[in-house]
């Protein structure tokens, strides 16, 4: 009986640990920009505010017209880093984390909506309004829409636009897969950077 009870407690603690999420907040003392860091199992996500003016300047320097650079800058842009913090094993592929931003959702004022992906932006730009070199720069600066991260620290970073306005506060539903199993989490009260 004691052995069965002990095994049940061990199983429950393992399941609880696997489902535990840690979310931390930070503020850069020099810039005042806020960041959110999410950790669950081997999945690590960091979201760091980008000032609209910072993003606007970045895209103007890459050949974007002012009106399009303004549209991107005012669409709630975050520098995003995703990392697989898992250890190397013989089954690395089974411990790989696959992220598709197509499945992420924001909730703002009780309205759920998908992210504004880089493909959405590019599709809406007439060929004459954004030159090929600027489109290329946008693709490279944006976080990949889909990517697989392998254990031992595989990571990537880039910009994600949430399609909201400067200063808006929203909740973010994220989703990822490990070994064909879907995981989800909710990160609450993320704030788009103010336009200052």
Q: How confident is the model at residue 193 (pLDDT cuts 50, 70, 90)?
A: very high
For residue 7, being part of any structural domain is answered with no
For residue 12, being part of any structural domain is answered with no
For residue 13, being part of any structural domain is answered with no
For residue 142, being part of any structural domain is answered with yes
Strand segments (E) across the chain: 22-27, 34-40, 43-49, 77-84, 97-100, 105-108, 111-114, 146-149, 155-161, 169-178, 181-191
For residue 93, being part of any structural domain is answered with yes
pLDDT tens digits for range 103-127: 999 999 999 999 999 999 999 998 8
Residue 33 has pLDDT above 70, yes or no: yes
| 33, 48 Cβ separation under 8 angstroms | yes
pLDDT at residue 7, as a whole number: 39
For residue 10, being part of any structural domain is answered with no
Q: What is the mean pLDDT of residues 48-52?
A: 98
pLDDT tens digits for range 177-191: 998 899 999 999 999
Q: What is the mean pLDDT of residues 139-162?
A: 97
For residue 15, being part of any structural domain is answered with no
Q: What total number of domains does the chain contain?
A: 1
- Nearest Cα to 47, choosing from 130, 104, 98? 104
| Tokens 């806020």 -> residue | 34
Rama region for 119: left / alpha / beta (φ>0; ψ in -120 to 50; rest): alpha
For residue 94, being part of any structural domain is answered with yes
pLDDT at residue 87, as a whole number: 87
Q: How confident is the model at residue 88 (pLDDT cuts 50, 70, 90)?
A: confident
Q: What is the mean pLDDT of residues 159-181?
A: 97
Rg (alpha carbons) of the chain, rounded to whole number: 19
Q: What is the mean pLDDT of residues 42-59?
A: 98
Pair of tokens at residue 51: 């000032």
**Full residue range of the structural domain in which residue 42 is found:** 22-191
Report pTM.
0.87
Q: What is the mean pLDDT of residues 148-166?
A: 96
Residue 1 has pLDDT above 80, yes or no: no
Cα separation, 17 vs 182, in Å, equals 17
Mean pLDDT of the chain: 90
Q: Helix, strand or coil for residue 2?
A: helix
Q: What is the mean pLDDT of residues 88-116?
A: 92
């Amino acid at each position: 009986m004691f052995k069965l009870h002990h095994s049940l407690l061990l199983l429950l603690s393992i399941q609880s640990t696997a489902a535990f999420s840690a979310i931390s907040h930070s503020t850069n003392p020099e810039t005042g920009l806020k960041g959110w860091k999410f950790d669950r199992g081997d999945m690590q996500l960091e979201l760091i505010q980008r000032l609209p003016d910072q993003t606007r300047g970045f895209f103007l320097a890459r050949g974007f017209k002012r009106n399009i650079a303004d549209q991107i800058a005012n669409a709630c842009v975050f520098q995003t880093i995703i990392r697989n913090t898992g250890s190397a094993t013989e089954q690395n592929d089974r411990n790989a984390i696959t992220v598709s931003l197509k499945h992420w959702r924001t909730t703002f004022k009780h309205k759920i909506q998908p992210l504004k992906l880089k493909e959405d932006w590019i599709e809406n730009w007439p060929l004459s309004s954004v030159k090929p070199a600027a489109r290329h720069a946008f693709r490279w600066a944006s976080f990949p829409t889909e990517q697989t991260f392998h254990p031992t620290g595989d990571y990537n970073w880039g910009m994600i636009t949430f399609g909201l306005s400067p200063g808006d506060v929203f909740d973010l539903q994220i989703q990822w897969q490990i070994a064909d199993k879907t995981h989800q989490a909710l990160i609450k009260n993320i704030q788009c950077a103010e336009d200052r």
